[in-house]
Amino acid sequence: MDKILRINMGSAKGPELKTEPLGAYAGLGGRAMTSTVVAKEVPPTCHALSAENKLVIAPGLLSGSAAAMSGRISVGCKSPLTGGIKEANSGGQPSQMLARLGYAAIILEGKPKDDTLYKVLINKDGVTISPANELKMLGNYDLVEKMKAQHGEKIGCISIGPAGEMKLSAASVAFTDMELRPTRHAGRGGVGAVMGAKGVKVIVIDDAGTQMRSPKDPDKFKAANKEFTAGLRKHPVTGQGLPAFGTNVLTNVINEAGGYPTRNFKEGQFEGAAKISGEAQAKLENERGGEGSATHGCHRGCVIRCSGTFYDKNGRFVTKQPEYETVWAHGGNCGIDDLDAIAQLDRMDDDFGLDTIEMGATIAVAMEAGLAKFGDAQAAIRLIKEIGQGTPLGRILGSGAAVTGKVFGIERVPVVKGQSMPAYDPRAVKGIGVTYATTTMGADHTAGYAVTANVLGVGGTVNPLKPQGQVELSRNLQVATTAIDSTGMCLFIAFAILDQPETFQALLDLINGFTGLSLTADDVSNLGKSILKLERDFNRAAGLTKIHDRLPNYFKTEPLTPHKVTFDVSDEELDQVFNF
Amino acid sequence: MDKILRINMGSAKGPELKTEPLGAYAGLGGRAMTSTVVAKEVPPTCHALSAENKLVIAPGLLSGSAAAMSGRISVGCKSPLTGGIKEANSGGQPSQMLARLGYAAIILEGKPKDDTLYKVLINKDGVTISPANELKMLGNYDLVEKMKAQHGEKIGCISIGPAGEMKLSAASVAFTDMELRPTRHAGRGGVGAVMGAKGVKVIVIDDAGTQMRSPKDPDKFKAANKEFTAGLRKHPVTGQGLPAFGTNVLTNVINEAGGYPTRNFKEGQFEGAAKISGEAQAKLENERGGEGSATHGCHRGCVIRCSGTFYDKNGRFVTKQPEYETVWAHGGNCGIDDLDAIAQLDRMDDDFGLDTIEMGATIAVAMEAGLAKFGDAQAAIRLIKEIGQGTPLGRILGSGAAVTGKVFGIERVPVVKGQSMPAYDPRAVKGIGVTYATTTMGADHTAGYAVTANVLGVGGTVNPLKPQGQVELSRNLQVATTAIDSTGMCLFIAFAILDQPETFQALLDLINGFTGLSLTADDVSNLGKSILKLERDFNRAAGLTKIHDRLPNYFKTEPLTPHKVTFDVSDEELDQVFNF
């Protein structure tokens, strides 16, 4: 990874391609790369859809190597949803492929002079960009089929669906998985709208003729990788829970803990949880034959393999195994307990290019507004269809929960910085509430996954129902996560490295063996802190203040069943998260 | 004015009425009253539609007296449009009537337990509140007719149309005029949505049996009132321009100056300006007979009488003489040069209860998004109709220009703090640009009407095309305006008091003669400053920073024809407006 591909979409003569050396960005990967480029090159007060914003796509530092779990990719920009900086993270194949082709980042910048839509093709011979108006308003699935027909079965695709083309604030960027399906998404914050504003429909990557990236110290790297992999296989979460039931193993766990947001965050337990749990889902998937549950990684090199395939009752592919957050968003949060309907909603979100978390939260707000009844799966499907059709209602919904709440006059909208909360009620899982409130990203569970110590007993234990200890827990996780998001590693490695010092050491050895550096745990922590500072400074300059580091007031006043708890971490404590 | 009417709409047993002494609010009127109550009683971070927000309606300090021009009224709350504090100002009869009944303020608070809609009746015998679900979704015109049938022809009404009931962010609060028509509106900032959130459809006021408020020093008051009135009649703007052609006298003036925002702020001159000018409008109105142009004040006691009546070609009443801002918003800003269509749009806005400025700006953004062609008056009418019908598209539009831009992915949206700019392009009238950027209200011309010295040669001369002197001009006007908005005086008195020291002295004598105080010019200025500080502190605590005291970036980069100017008052200068 020794170069950056920069495409100026606003050049007078049409898109202008430039391949640059890394320069000041050398040594950065993933979130460290995207956030540094955005902080350095994007004016914080610019309009997110303007020429001044940039979309940065960056493989992790270890992507393209043999390091296990290193295939995650970051997408960064100023977010049209939050108004702040954004890093949205995805699995899929493109990270490994881009890294092998030597690209540490793709930067899309400028604003197209007209509404021509473009296709970018990257292979070992270089980069081409060409008009592709025939792709307009294609769903991601049809789009990828077309790309396969044109470029063969060994490509990877980074694309937007109709939502991104319409520049809707809940639009995602899709990444193809190992089966060349557009099932992996940089979902959050409307990164797809920014790609749409740049006029790029799809980036096709063909890494034929390239090699795996080589470590500086092959022996150290190989030994560390072995130890690291063993550590992941040993830990109960990454070695058993996730492989057996996928991320949806959490439904029963979080519901049991009384922190499962139900019907637009009105209750903390869902009576239909068992019907949509990971256990029920695995059983169903296995019954329907073909590839069963938990048989897949989202990218080559994954050893956890928390994914799978969801077939309909006739054994036809519907979607990848829906994730916990998706099952919750379209399930319990909408009062829906029908796995087939949820899988269909997941498929539609992926096809239109929409963040499933934002969509589930939005449909629930729409249900609260009376557009449909909680529990009405067919109505939810109809509402999501409106987005694909680009109707006015569809555009409202595709703009996310905050806009939907505003347009329909609804007060109870579970967002922070305009972004919807994920699948943990902050009143009953207070550590994640601190993360929702304070992360630079808007409400986001992956930014500091305090569910670990709050509920799972991983990385220690902090009572989820009490305010004590949550700020420190969230801070430490936010710092560590920022570093992990820069390596290209899947965040799920955190379970093992939090609990097993030897696995954490193996990760350090892996990084050092690959890069030839001698990073310590402190160095990694300092990297995390320095990126968080960059992000926070960007947000400050964009007009986000500590007032925006708060949950909506009703979380402080409406007690949540069954524990009858409110969010009671004080504002003063929240302001101590960034004490470095 | 010795009491406050407080109605808790959220009481468990239904709405609870309380009449209180003024207490700490004694001596306050208009904006001083509304902003002080909001600053003191409303948590700045609350949701604007929540129980914690309050709607405050306050006559001016001199309202209900014989003082000329003293019938303006203020409506305050946390704004659903800007997220900051709001004072929206209106003419009409209710200010005088409430003041004579002794009410210095009505405060609506709490949140109704269900969706019952209420009617409030205030007369000399007291206050009653009763369910009035039969009024649901009535337009303001039908509503007022019903109230006349129930309560006679001598009432005044404060009401919301369907937009307020739907809690749309562009919803206004309507006030009846001297002919008992709902043509006067506290338009800006979505105050109607807050009234809707409180579940109050209409406040009917009957001041039968009450007397004009008496001055403390009748002789001084009477003499000052005479001198004040003479001063208004002497000044060319208040004595000639406004009476002859209404506020729309500005169309030709601002167009000539190259500061007339045309087709969503793309150009500074409109080729159809002459067809919709005040001169053309007066001619048309006079030709159509009946009450001609400029024959009306909006309230009793007005001596400028800048209003009139607009009839259709068959001599039937359509609306009051549309104001300059309205004619511009639905006219040049949408590329429309048809006065009949503009009058119809004005009528619809008043009937649905919508801010005409926000609506014109919104339709122009919708036209930029391709929903209609610039200049297509029938399409504009169809779009506004959607709001009255409450369709999804209507709800988008009724939420204002910022939401419409967001939902349709449009970058060029002329708003500050989420509120649409009025009828002066900030690039060619830079003083008003400073006001748009920095006022506590979101883009608002009335908050510091620098058009005076920039274009009209009133209160000195400051070159509108240069950045020099604009900050001081805007600051002084913002301070003075805040004070004037507290007296109940029409802002148009500013023309005369800026140019004629003896008229300003007459105003001071009028206030002192009425109140028995001995206020100096400095006292008035200090009142203005202290209210502005309260408002600014509220906004800070609500999360608005200096980053929000900025125009959208494109005003700094896109030159405006014909003068080829951008907005070049620096950020550092903008931050000096509030230097007190």
Q: Does A248 map to a domain?
A: no
Per-residue model confidence (pLDDT) at position B218: 97
Q: Omega before A562 cis (within 30°)?
A: yes
Q: Which element (helix H / strand E) includes A391?
A: none
Beta-carbon separation of B197 and A409 below 8 A? yes
Tell me the angle at which helices B356-368 and B377-389 cross, rounded to the nearest 10 degrees. Answer: 120
Q: How many CB atoms lie within 10 A of CB A373?
A: 11
Per-residue model confidence (pLDDT) at position B285: 87
Q: Which DSSP string do the residues of A1-41 spell out, in sequence order?
A: --EEEEEETT-TTS-EEEEEE-GGGTT--HHHHHHHHHHHH
Per-residue model confidence (pLDDT) at position B300: 87
User: Chain A residue closest to B165 (CA)?
Assistant: A409
Which burial class, exposed, middle or buried, applies to B516 when counting CB atoms under 10 A from its CB (0-12, 13-18, 19+)? exposed
- SS3 letters for B200-236? EEEEEECCCCCCCCCCCCHHHHHHHHHHHHHHHHHCH
The closest alpha carbon to B85, from B475, B441, B479, B533, belongs to B441
User: Chain A residue closest to B540 (CA)?
Assistant: A547
Per-residue model confidence (pLDDT) at position B73: 98
Q: Does B99 map to a domain?
A: yes
Per-residue model confidence (pLDDT) at position A286: 86
What is the SS3 assignment for A214? coil
Q: Which residues of A touch B169 (CB under 8 A)?
A: 406
Using a CB–CB cut-off of 8 Å, the residues of A that contact B are 43-47, 49-50, 52, 80, 166-169, 193, 196-197, 391-393, 395-396, 399, 403, 406-411, 541-543, 545, 547-548, 550, 552-554
- Minimal Cα–Cα distance from A163 to chain B, Å? 11
Query: Are the C-beta atoms of A496 and A68 separated by less than 8 Å?
Result: no
How many angstroms separate the CA atoms of A71 and A62, rounded? 8
Same domain for B274 and B201: no
Same domain for A314 and A174: no
- The partner residues of A6 in beta bridges, in order of sequence, read A18, A107
Give, rounded to a whole angstrom, the gap between the first and last alpha carbons of chain B. 31
Beta-carbon separation of B408 and A396 below 8 A? no
For the stretch A389-435, pLDDT in tens is 999 999 999 999 999 999 999 999 999 999 999 999 999 999 999 99
Beta-carbon separation of A193 and B166 below 8 A? no
Same domain for A166 and A72: yes
Maximum Cα interatomic distance, chain B, rounded to a whole number of Å: 62
- The partner residues of A307 in beta bridges, in order of sequence, read A296
Beta-carbon separation of A548 and B543 below 8 A? yes
Same domain for A289 and A193: no
- For chains A and B, CB pairs below 8 A equal 92
Per-residue model confidence (pLDDT) at position A244: 86
**What DSSP character marks residue B3?**
E
- Minimal Cα–Cα distance from A272 to chain B, Å? 28
Q: Does B444 map to a domain?
A: no
- Minimal Cα–Cα distance from A174 to chain B, Å? 20
How many angstroms separate the CA atoms of B91 and B174, rounded? 10
Same domain for A271 and A200: no
- The partner residues of B86 in beta bridges, in order of sequence, read B77
Beta-carbon separation of A47 and B193 below 8 A? no
Instruction: Compute the C-alpha angle A370/A372/A377, nearest 5°.
Output: 155
Q: What is the dihedral of CA A9, A11, A13, A15, to 10 degrees?
A: -20
- Minimal Cα–Cα distance from B89 to chain A, Å? 23
Domain CATH code at residue A303: 1.10.569.10
Q: Does B468 map to a domain?
A: no
The closest alpha carbon to B1, from B87, B70, B52, belongs to B70
Same domain for B14 and B142: yes
Same domain for A121 and A30: yes
Same domain for A94 and A7: yes
User: Chain B residue closest to A551 (CA)?
Assistant: B45
- Minimal Cα–Cα distance from A334 to chain B, Å? 21
Q: How many CB atoms lie within 10 A of CB B358?
A: 34
Same domain for A179 and A260: no
Q: Which DSSP string do the residues of B12-72 spell out, in sequence order?
A: TTS-EEEEEE-GGGTT--HHHHHHHHHHHHS-TTS-TTSTT--EEEEE-TTTTSS-TT---
Beta strand B103-109 with B3-8 is parallel
Q: Which residues of A touch B552 (CB under 8 A)?
A: 47
Q: Which of the listed residues B389, B405, B424 is the one where a domain comes to its end? A: B424
Beta-carbon separation of A406 and B392 below 8 A? no
Same domain for B126 and B10: yes
Q: Which of the listed residues A205, A225, A242 is the one where a domain comes to its end? A: A205
Q: Does A238 map to a domain?
A: no
- Minimal Cα–Cα distance from B411 to chain A, Å? 6
Per-residue model confidence (pLDDT) at position B63: 97
Structure tokens at B126: 């007291």
Query: Are the C-beta atoms of A74 and A63 separated by less than 8 Å?
Result: no
Q: What is the ipTM of this complex?
A: 0.95
Domain CATH code at residue A126: 3.60.9.10
Structure tokens at B478: 């913002």
- Minimal Cα–Cα distance from A411 to chain B, Å? 6
What are the φ/ψ torsions at residue B119 (nearest 5 degrees)? -120, 135
Per-residue model confidence (pLDDT) at position B266: 98
Domain count, chain B: 2
Q: Which residues of A touch B49 (CB under 8 A)?
A: 409-411
**What DSSP character marks residue A171?**
B
Q: Does B558 map to a domain?
A: no
Give the contacts of B314 (CB within 8 A, at least 6 positions apart). Answer: none
Same domain for A258 and A116: no
Q: Does A409 map to a domain?
A: yes
How many angstroms separate the CA atoms of B179 and A231, rounded? 82
Whether pTM > 0.90 for this model: the answer is yes
Chain centre distance of CA B2: 26
Q: Does B227 map to a domain?
A: no
pLDDT by residue, tens only, chain B of 580 residues: 899 999 999 999 999 999 999 999 999 999 999 999 999 999 999 999 999 999 999 999 999 999 999 999 999 999 999 999 999 999 999 999 999 999 999 999 999 999 999 999 999 999 999 999 999 999 999 999 999 999 999 999 999 999 999 999 999 999 999 999 999 999 999 999 999 999 999 999 999 999 999 999 999 999 999 999 999 999 999 999 898 889 999 999 999 999 999 999 999 999 999 999 999 998 998 888 755 555 688 888 899 998 889 999 998 999 999 999 999 999 999 999 999 999 999 999 999 999 999 999 999 999 999 999 999 999 999 999 999 999 999 999 999 999 999 999 999 999 999 999 999 999 999 999 999 999 999 999 999 999 999 999 999 999 999 999 999 999 999 999 999 999 999 999 999 999 999 999 999 999 999 999 999 999 999 999 999 999 999 999 999 999 999 999 999 999 999 999 999 999 999 999 999 9
Q: Which residues of A touch B408 (CB under 8 A)?
A: 395
Q: Which of A399, A543, A550 sits opposite B406 (nearest CB)?
A: A399
Q: Which residues of A touch B541 (CB under 8 A)?
A: 547
- Enclosing domain of residue A38: 3-205
**What DSSP character marks residue A232?**
H
Same domain for A161 and A36: yes
Per-residue model confidence (pLDDT) at position B567: 98
Q: Which of the listed residues A205, A224, A240 is the one where a domain comes to its end? A: A205
Residue numbers in chain A where pLDDT is lower than 50: none
